């Protein structure tokens, strides 16, 4: 199977390149192809002739998207459209990585795949539009929604918390946003399984269980053996340009239909800490 990954230099993309063996995999970063430019996308697809295209490239800076929604739309929405069209022209299958931020956070039960999209920030809007347009162009595409990604190949919450803890005796973390932390290496392995299983439609892929950012931080520091104290606080005390959903837990039912179960997020942290090594 020939696979073409757009976004291979990002945090998830690097994990995909690391775990994806036994197939012919080509990884591209933004220096190889600007997904905002359809001609560049088309040229790479024609060159590689992939059976599967994985789109993990995105502008994921949530506050940056809020401050520059035009860039968010150009990369996240139009970029996805360009890749979906190139996939359709070449009869390639497409897996598109999306986000829990397509929801408004007003639920109190895990979101199912058919729950109406209602994003509350520019990042979520750009990804929700990308989902809709991708599925219009390529109805058999696979849309993988995930959340709270962390890994050793890029900026992420655990890395930030560990660096803060190394410099401070006490930190405050918001305790009123709840979601599902997801380890990139495990998500990458699931993406490989879904492609090999010819998955279609919207699938929610997160590690099992949920928590608040405060609970996540506390578990990270406990496992790391840190003596830094973690105190809960509210989103109102950490005002940021973009609103965040208060509840964005994703149901695992859609993934279970493929016979795939992801570990509890707590079980993945030792792997992350081992791979990360001592803080710089």
2-154+182-208+249-263 classified as CATH 3.40.50.720: yes
Q: How many residues does the chain have?
A: 280
CA-to-CA separations, 243 to 18, 98, 104, 248, 275, in angstroms, rounded: 33, 18, 10, 13, 32
Q: How many helices (H) and strands (E) does the chain have?
A: 11, 12
Which of 187, 202, 188, 203 is closest to 262 using CA atoms?
187
Q: Computed from CA positions of residues 95, 244, 64, 129, in that sequence, does the dihedral angle turn out positive or negative?
A: positive
**Using a CB cutoff of 8 Å and minimum separation of 24, what contacts does 252-255 make?**
252/110, 252/204, 252/206, 252/208, 253/112, 253/113, 253/204, 254/112, 254/113, 254/201, 254/202, 254/203, 254/204, 255/190, 255/203, 255/204, 255/205
Query: Is 9 within 8 Å of 60 (Cβ atoms)?
Result: no
Q: Is residue 272 among the annotated active site residues?
A: no
pLDDT score for 277 = 87
DSSP H helical ranges for the chain: 11-19, 38-48, 62-67, 69-72, 79-90, 122-137, 157-167, 184-196, 213-224, 253-256, 265-276
Contacts of 234 (CB under 8 A, 6+ apart): 174, 175, 176
Is beta strand 149-150 parallel, antiparallel or unpaired with respect to 182-183?
Answer: parallel
CA 182 to chain centre: 8
Catalytic residue among 59, 101, 111, 123: 123
User: 10-residue block means of pLDDT along the chain (280 residues)?
Assistant: 98 98 96 97 98 98 98 98 98 98 97 98 98 98 98 95 96 97 98 98 98 98 97 94 97 97 98 84
Is beta strand 178-179 parallel, antiparallel or unpaired with respect to 211-212?
Answer: antiparallel
pLDDT score for 238 = 86
Query: Is 230 within 8 Å of 214 (Cβ atoms)?
Result: yes
Alpha carbon distance 122, 72 (integer Å): 7
pTM to 2 decimals? 0.97
Alpha carbon distance 125, 111 (integer Å): 17
């Amino acid at each position: 199977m020939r696979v073409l990954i757009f976004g291979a230099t990002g945090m998830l993309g690097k994990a995909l390149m690391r775990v994806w063996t036994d197939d012919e995999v080509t990884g591209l970063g933004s220096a190889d192809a600007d997904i905002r430019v359809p001609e560049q996308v088309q040229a790479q697809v024609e060159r590689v002739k992939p059976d599967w295209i994985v789109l993990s490239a995105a502008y994921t800076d949530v506050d940056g998207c809020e401050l520059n929604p035009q860039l968010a739309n150009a990369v996240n929405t139009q970029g996805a459209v360009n890749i979906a069209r190139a996939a359709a022209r070449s009869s390639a299958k497409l897996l598109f990585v999306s986000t829990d931020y397509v929801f408004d956070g007003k639920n109190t039960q895990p979101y199912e795949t058919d729950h109406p999209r209602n994003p509350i920030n520019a990042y979520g809007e750009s990804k929700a539009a990308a989902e809709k347009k991708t599925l219009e162009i390529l109805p058999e595409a696979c849309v993988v929604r995930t959340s709270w990604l962390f890994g050793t190949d890029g900026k992420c919450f655990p890395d930030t918390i560990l660096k803060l803890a190394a410099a401070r005796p006490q930190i405050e973390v918001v305790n009123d946003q709840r979601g599902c932390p997801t380890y990139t290496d495990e998500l990458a392995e699931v993406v490989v399984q879904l492609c090999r299983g010819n998955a279609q439609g919207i699938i929610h892929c997160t590690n099992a269980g949920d928590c608040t950012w405060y609970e996540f931080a506390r578990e990270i520091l406990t496992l790391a053996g840190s003596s830094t104290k973690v105190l809960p606080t509210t989103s109102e005390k950490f005002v940021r340009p973009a609103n965040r959903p208060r509840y964005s837990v994703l149901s695992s039912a859609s993934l279970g239909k493929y016979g795939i179960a992801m570990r509890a997020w707590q079980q993945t942290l030792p792997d992350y800490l081992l791979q990360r090594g001592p803080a710089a």
